[in-house]
Amino acid sequence: QATGTDQVVGLGLVAVSLIIFTYYTAWVILLPFIDSQHVIHKYFLPRAYAVAIPLAAGLLLLLFVGLFITYVMLKNQKGTKKAQ
Amino acid sequence: ERGRSGPRGREMEGPTEGEATMTKLAQWLWALALLGSAWAALTLGALDLPSSCREVLWPLPAYLLVSAGCYALATVGYRVATFHDCEDAARELQSQIQEARADLSRRGMRF
């Protein structure tokens, strides 16, 4: 059964993803239709970052996944060698 | 013997099903290719769009990626929040284990 912390963490993940989604939608989809002198433009980075940040995040994620996998596989190899 | 026939049977089903329709992977690849070519054509200027539309258009692949990531994150979070024990399944599994133990010990295996 999901405990209290499970529920907090899970709903927190949902909330974070919803916040990111709405902010990113506003940034990418809505902002070009708003007048460029409007105050709202102060709350968003320049448009080039809208592509650069996800790309960098994805590359970092792939890097960490790769590092993790190599680490686990190397550890397993050592374990089997010891067992032999 | 009986236990082994299950997964193998399912393996046999797999390819025939794939031939009849497209596999899930092929469907996704086709949809992505269609979307991607439409996006490329529009960005390269197939139609005369106003400049604000054009500005929305070029980061759309990144937008797709980000929304897929958000969906994945939200799904994981939702499943974590509503995780529950499968007591019926546990009982069924226990009874199957007992059955298998009885069967095996009848055939002379000791635990």
Q: What is the pLDDT of residues B38-93, one digit of tens each?
A: 988 888 877 777 777 777 888 888 889 899 999 999 999 999 988 888 889 999 99
Q: In this predicted structure, what is the pLDDT of residue A33? A: 80
Same domain, A50 and A79: yes
Looking at residue A82, its pLDDT comes to 65
Name, in order, each residue with C-beta under 8 angstroms of B22's C-beta and a sequence gap of 6 or more.
Answer: B30
Closest in A1, A12, A28 to B63, CB measured? A28
Q: Which of B64, B66, B78, B79 to substitute to test the interface with A, most A CBs within 10 Å? A: B66
Say whether both A73 and A54 belong to one domain. yes
Residue with the larger pLDDT of the pair A52 and B48? A52
Q: Which residue among B52, B70, B76 places its CB closest to the CB of A33?
A: B52
User: Same domain for A22 and A50?
Assistant: no
How far from chain centre, in Å, is Cα A39? 28
Does the beta-carbon distance from A16 to B63 stay under 8 Å? no
Using CA atoms, how far apart are residues A1 and B11, in angstroms rounded to an integer?
Answer: 34
Lowest mean pLDDT among A12-26, A34-48, A59-73: A34-48
Give this prediction's pTM.
Answer: 0.68
Residue in B with minimal Cα distance to A57: B66
The verdict on A30 and A55 lying in the same domain is no
Mean pLDDT (chain A) is 86
Alpha carbon distance B93, B85 (integer Å): 13
Give the N- to C-terminal CA distance of chain B in Å, as an integer. Answer: 20
Same domain flag for A57 and A30: no
- What pLDDT does B20 receive? 60
Q: Are B67 and A20 in contact (CB under 8 A)?
A: no
